Chains A and B, each alone.
Chain A
Amino acid sequence: MTTATIDKAAPTRKVKYGSMSRDRAWALRWSYFFLVIFAIFFLTPPIYMFITSLKSSAEISAATNPWWVFHPTLENYAGLLTSNQFLRFFWNSAIVSIFVVTITMLISVPAAFALSRMRFWGSATLATGVFLTYLIPETLLFIPLFKMFAVIGDWTGIQLINKWYVLLILYPTLTVPFCTWIMIGYFASIPKELDEAAVIDGASWLQTLTRIFIPVAFPGIIAATIFAFTVSWAQFLYPLVFTTSTDQLVMPVGIITSLIKGDVFNWGQIMTGALLGAAPPLIIYAFLMDYYIAGLTAGATKG
């Protein structure tokens, strides 16, 4: 009786050991299988953008297999890259993004330094307040801001609406709170001994910031810069509301309003434009992926 139970138990134990490593191998296989499926789901739209961008309008309207290019052509790229209008959008986007990144860093780095290191009355509350403003979406503010700028235009004669530089005032509201927040996190992780040593050596607060904090927290600064750039490059609502003439538009709005003419969709050109519009963030991401991801996760994990 007892021997029988032992006999029964022995093989099951053995089988279990065997099944564990087999389980692991199968888990790995299934992981790869599902990862491939998800990768297909995630990469289909960008790849389809690329496929369409290589097609002539004749091939698109012939409705052949949409997933394959039979007569690849670069005419869409040539058409867009020689069109002054499209280059204007690209130029506007580049200028706006570069200025916004500069403004953002000039505002948020000193503020983050003051809020994380120079404890003063209300600094903790203020840091939380900064994070709260980050949670206020732009879709809540665009109508009052539009009216505000219209009123300013009426009162002072400074015309801000329908000028690309209005975006330089608007975009920092999206970038500054988050950049300040993640810089607070990065600065807070710098050991206190470092700035105490600097103060003992007679460094002023500004010197402590520029000589110690900025170099030490440089990865954080890159992450914040990337964030500010991608946000200002991708922003769609503000330029749609505040700019209308074609020479003032930035990429996303420009492609959508100028390449779509009435009901005629020139899909080859639209996809080319969209791909070129997506290129700068994608290139930055390809080269600085780790900083990009650090900035992404910093918002919730730090602070």
Chain B
Amino acid sequence: MADVALQPNRAAAQTARKRSSLHNALKRKSTVAFLMTLPLLLLIAALVIYPAFYAVHLATLNKSMQRFVGLSNFEFLFKRETFWLVVKQSCIFAITAVIFKAVLGFIIAHFVHNIPAKGQRKWRGMLLVPWVIPPAMSTLAWLWLFDPSYSAFNYTLSFFGIGPIPWTGDAMWARFSVILVNIWVGAPFFMIMYLAALKSVPEQLYEAAAIDGANWWQRIWYVTLPMMRNIIAITTLFSLIVTFANFDIVRILTAGGPLDQTHIFATWAFRIGIEGSDIPLGASVSLFMVPILAVAAIFILRDISKRGNEA
């Protein structure tokens, strides 16, 4: 009788203990933290890290993706003239665009910083508009401004006696156009970042420099630039990654033409991999972006950990 009475009691005590240990585990900090980060980890693992390695695997297959061909996709690419054209154009595109974006952003940030504080908000708001409009939409406007027969730019330039410019028809001009549009989209981002950095430079430093008789150039060179070095470096590296991997602008403005002269890695990979349905070759092309991205990422990471240590 007592035994019978005891049995369910013990069972109940056991389940209670089990429940409380599960309860404890759930209450433990590390378990809760792990559960909270789990969706993020799954997302990154399944949709970023796995595809990145899958791209390497794909790059070693033949066109029908049934046979392992090792590095022959890369060999094939190295022998193609278009590939070297794409490498050259990607580098020209990214480096020129980033330099001009950084310089323009720096200059505009200074001008905005110069004017009285109450007007700054208005100007800042106006100058950031190119960054806010979806690039695909604004590039359409540029395409229309560059239209071969109805170009509004050519209409305006004709008054100055400058002949019709083949904005997207001629290789050199098409290169210029895609870079121009990229600068137009990206310079406001630099402007905002540099403006934030300029605001964080203490006014006393400029006063001290002025007392020491520094002219405006010396003030920029010895005060502004050293104080902004971190922001300049991280913004430039970040923009280098984004510009190097750009797709929208080139795709819509020239689609790589004329004669593949303006293709960059992303658009050429799309042309080969999706439009030409040669997925392995397309994956090989896009993998060429990795080295430059990795270098930029390492520098950014070093900067972040350095600042983390300072804090």
Say yes or no: A144-B51 contact (C-beta < 8 A), given A46-B138, A107-B43, A120-B30: yes
Chain A residues, CB < 8 A from B196: 297, 301
Nearest Cβ on chain A to B245's Cβ, whole angstroms = 3
> Cβ of B86 < 8 Å from any Cβ of A?
no
> Cβ of A81 < 8 Å from any Cβ of B?
no
Nearest Cβ on chain A to B216's Cβ, whole angstroms = 8
Interface residue tally for chain B (C-beta within 8 Å): 100
Q: Which of B47, B137, B155, B247 contacts A139, CB < 8 Å?
A: B247
Say yes or no: A173-B37 contact (C-beta < 8 A), given A120-B29, A234-B135, A297-B196: no
**Contact A111–B37 (Cβ < 8 Å):** yes
The stretch from B11-19, B71-79, B139-147, B169-177 touching chain A is B139-147
Say yes or no: A52-B144 contact (C-beta < 8 A), given A28-B114, A31-B111, A137-B242: yes
Query: How distant is the Cα of A32 from the Cα of B121 in the complex, in angstroms?
Result: 14
Q: Which of A60, A146, A147, A230 contacts B150, CB < 8 Å?
A: A60
Q: Which of A43, A141, A172 contacts B129, CB < 8 Å?
A: A43
Query: How distant is the Cα of A169 from the Cα of B47 in the complex, in angstroms?
Result: 8
**Contact B52–A118 (Cβ < 8 Å):** no
**Contact B132–A281 (Cβ < 8 Å):** yes
> Cβ of B39 < 8 Å from any Cβ of A?
yes
Chain A residues, CB < 8 A from B297: 132, 135
Q: Which of A52, A282, A289 contacts B133, CB < 8 Å?
A: A282
Say yes or no: A42-B150 contact (C-beta < 8 A), given A140-B52, A237-B248, A274-B140: no
List residues 79-109 of chain B with CB under 8 A from any CB of chain A: 104, 107-108
> Cβ of A148 < 8 Å from any Cβ of B?
yes
> Cβ of B161 < 8 Å from any Cβ of A?
no
Chain B residues, CB < 8 A from A170: 47
**Contact A45–B142 (Cβ < 8 Å):** yes
**Contact B192–A296 (Cβ < 8 Å):** yes
The stretch from A6-14, A63-71, A84-92 touching chain B is A63-71
> Cβ of A4 < 8 Å from any Cβ of B?
no
Query: How distant is the Cα of A67 from the Cα of B153 in the complex, in angstroms?
Result: 10
> Cβ of B33 < 8 Å from any Cβ of A?
yes
Chain A residues, CB < 8 A from B145: 44-45, 48
**Contact A137–B48 (Cβ < 8 Å):** no
Query: How distant is the Cα of A169 from the Cα of B51 in the complex, in angstroms?
Result: 13
**Contact B140–A300 (Cβ < 8 Å):** no
Chain B residues, CB < 8 A from A217: none
Nearest Cβ on chain A to B42's Cβ, whole angstroms = 9
**Contact B54–A144 (Cβ < 8 Å):** yes
> Cβ of B214 < 8 Å from any Cβ of A?
no
Say yes or no: A176-B189 contact (C-beta < 8 A), given A133-B48, A145-B51: no
**Contact B52–A141 (Cβ < 8 Å):** yes
Chain B residues, CB < 8 A from A253: 136
Chain B residues, CB < 8 A from A54: none
- Majority-rule SS of B interface residues: helix
> Cβ of A267 < 8 Å from any Cβ of B?
yes
Nearest Cβ on chain B to A192's Cβ, whole angstroms = 14
**Contact A180–B29 (Cβ < 8 Å):** no
Say yes or no: A114-B144 contact (C-beta < 8 A), given A31-B115, A144-B51: no
Q: Mark A5-31, 1 if CB is under 8 A from B, else 0.
A: 000000000000000000000011001
Chain A residues, CB < 8 A from B168: none
Query: How distant is the Cα of A111 from the Cα of B149 in the complex, in angstroms?
Result: 53
Nearest Cβ on chain B to A52's Cβ, whole angstroms = 6
Q: Which residue of B lies closest to A117 (CB)?
A: B33
> Cβ of A155 < 8 Å from any Cβ of B?
no
> Cβ of B123 < 8 Å from any Cβ of A?
yes
**Contact A277–B137 (Cβ < 8 Å):** yes
**Contact B40–A107 (Cβ < 8 Å):** yes
Nearest Cβ on chain A to B108's Cβ, whole angstroms = 5
> Cβ of B204 < 8 Å from any Cβ of A?
no
**Contact A121–B265 (Cβ < 8 Å):** no
Query: How distant is the Cα of A35 from the Cα of B274 in the complex, in angstroms?
Result: 43
**Contact A140–B245 (Cβ < 8 Å):** yes
Q: Mark B1-42, 1 if CB is under 8 A from A, else 0.
A: 000000000000000000000000001011011101101110
**Contact A121–B130 (Cβ < 8 Å):** no
**Contact B47–A173 (Cβ < 8 Å):** yes
Chain A residues, CB < 8 A from B108: 34-35, 38
Nearest Cβ on chain A to B217's Cβ, whole angstroms = 13
Say yes or no: A255-B245 contact (C-beta < 8 A), given A66-B155, A146-B274, A301-B231: no
Task: Identify 12 residue pairs between A and B in the complex whose beta-carbon atoms are under 8 Å apart, listed by A's number.
Answer: A28-B115, A35-B123, A111-B39, A114-B32, A118-B32, A121-B30, A135-B241, A147-B279, A148-B54, A265-B147, A296-B131, A299-B238
Q: A137-B266, A145-B51 are in contact. List 6 more A-B contacts (CB 8 A).
A: A38-B111, A126-B37, A141-B52, A144-B58, A234-B137, A282-B132
